[in-house]
Amino acid sequence: MPELPEVEVIRQSLDKKIKRKKVKKVIVRNKNLRFKIPDGFSRFLENKKILRVGRFSKYLIFYLSNKSYCLLHLGMSGTIHLLNQNKKNFITNTSFYNSPILPKKHNHVEIIFEKIRIIYNDPRRFGFFQIIDNSKMLEKRFSNFGPEPFHLDFNLKYVLSFFKKKEKNIKNFLLDQNFVSGIGNIYANEILFLSKVKPDKKVNLLKKKDCVRIIINSRKVLKDAIKKGGSSIRDFKNTFGSKGDFQKNFKVYDRVGLLCKRSSCAGKIKKKIISNRSTFFCDTCQI
């Protein structure tokens, strides 16, 4: 599943291409996504301008000219493909998984602008669209989500308060969207390595300095990943043909059995399953 950096790269690609453009037509070929596409979805979008493409956590937000919104979550396998009618489309994928060109199957939704169209493709159909009528409903939609790592609310006071009297391990907390929004499995591993914290450590055993490191490194890792275009575990490229490059910087993820990259450490990278997720850590410097 795309994490915050990959969705941010998608947002940037789309915003440059469709910002201020008017939706001419919407074609829904298959309503049966994770949540059924609502009746009237095409009418909701048609003849509206996309004022901008925003993002919260792992959600794309299309800001519409009538002050309403359309949310898109890509699920496990959803991709957005952008096609320019006046050019050969060698690379159409703005998203994280699968082919860099538009697949022939599973093209569920098509949004048509002048000279450009975007197509939502999703083989597993775990993604979904959602109509949001106004800003109050948008705020309510995300009211149960924790702050993003970049937000000022994600601070030491907040973290210590959230962790108080809790015994869940820190890895599961980083994946808990009610605690902090946008972090997924890949980046949780990298954040904890930089913070020198073992993934299965209970949060009630963390010291203040551990929490400070986790806050700082959450921002650092995600910022670096966005700058490098995300992590291309498969064939991800954005619409400009740039491939995500952050996987070259992995310190622990998918490096089981290899030596720790920390120069002062002679440890090896181990793998452990935590809540059904592959977890990677150094057996020496993460304590």
Q: What are the residue numbers of the active site?
A: 2-3, 58, 277
Contact 110, 21 (CB under 8 A): no
Phi, psi torsion values for 123, nearest 5 degrees: -60, -40
Distance CA 10, CA 4 (A): 10
Length of the chain: 287
Distance CA 145, CA 153 (A): 12
Question: Where would I find the H helices in the chain?
Answer: 4-18, 41-45, 135-141, 156-163, 170-175, 185-194, 208-227
Distance in angstroms between the alpha carbons of the first and the last residue of the chain: 28
CA 260 to the chain's CA centroid: 27
Sort residue 75 into left (φ over 0), alpha (ψ -120 to 50) or beta: left
